[in-house]
Amino acid sequence: VKKQGGRYARQARPVERTAVLGAGIMGGGIAYQSASKGTPILMKDIKEEAIELGLKEARKLFAKQVERGKFSVEQMAERLTNIRPTLSYGDFAGVDLVVEAVVENPKVKGAVLAEAEDAVGEETVLASNTSTISITRLAEHLKRPENFCGMHFFNPVHRMPLVEVIRGERTGDAAVAATVAYARQMGKTPIVVNDCPGFLVNRVLFPYFGGFSQLVAQGADFRRIDKVMERFGWPMGPAYLLDVVGMDTAVHAGEVMAEGFPERMADMGSAGGKSAIQLMVDHQRLGQKNAKGFYAYE
């Protein structure tokens, strides 16, 4: 981990126009956060329904801020216009920084980043919100790897202060500087970390999910585990946290972690050869995103 003092701040180019690829849990949250802090953002997805959901979520978050008296209705309407939904790369040429937040799959991310690179300007920074995939590996899909780094937000984006800015082997200082600056503009606390599967937080978190999955496979009650971890002092237990993260995303990320750290991730708690988290996906219990995970949601 490298502490970033003024070094990156001094090198930052202004980040005035931005874009996010993917309007899911994370893309929608990133769009809201950028818009609420006054930085315009294009929100691109491949599905109209996803864009609608992303916008609905942003509207809901803005409405809460109005309720709390942080924004007037007029301010909310004005900030909302900072989010420009789109299904095409039409307006990407003038964008300073693009955050990629599509599904956690190295092939899909590689292809999406390569097509985005063709649509943006020579100096545009591309940043991936991947939870686990090595930035150096994703950079292999790009012609300008020096303009690429990780920008890993946490869920829910509007509440979690930390952003990991990940420096791949070929990432240049200017890309790190712009990404650190954008994170600060969004009111977040960036830390610059070196590249490895899972970076810092998920390198710690995934073996914990593995331990949880193992206990469940051995017959432990997930509700009790959650209660115990809350008593221990964590704001929520692992089952609830997995519901927030999304079970499918956790499985994809777990696969990347298992490839990177086979010994540590060897036993995710197999039940009939599958982890408890994979079994949840098989039963379409994806978590809060489809209103049923370990717990049921309205």
Just list the catalytic residues.
152
Q: Which residues make Cβ contacts (< 8 Å) with residue 253, sequence separation at least 6?
A: 104, 131, 132, 198, 202, 206
Q: Looking at beta carbons, which residue is closest to ligand NAD?
A: 24
- C-beta separation of 76 from 63 below 8 A: yes
Smallest separation, CB 232 to ligand NAD (Å): 21
Q: Which two tokens stand for residue 190?
A: 């960036």
By beta-carbon proximity to ligand NAD, the closer residue of 1 and 46 is: 46
CA angle 216/254/57 to nearest 5° reads 95
Smallest separation, CB 116 to ligand NAD (Å): 9
Q: Which residues make Cβ contacts (< 8 Å) with residue 123, sequence separation at least 6?
A: 13, 96, 147
Smallest separation, CB 153 to ligand NAD (Å): 6
By beta-carbon proximity to ligand NAD, the closer residue of 96 and 164 is: 164
By beta-carbon proximity to ligand NAD, the closer residue of 17 and 109 is: 109
By beta-carbon proximity to ligand NAD, the closer residue of 12 and 250 is: 250
Smallest separation, CB 11 to ligand NAD (Å): 26
Using CB under 6 A, list all residues that contact ligand NAD.
21-27, 44-47, 50, 101-104, 108, 112, 129-131, 153-155, 245-246, 249, 253, 289
CA 135 centroid distance within chain: 14
Q: How many CB atoms lie within 10 A of CB 10?
A: 9
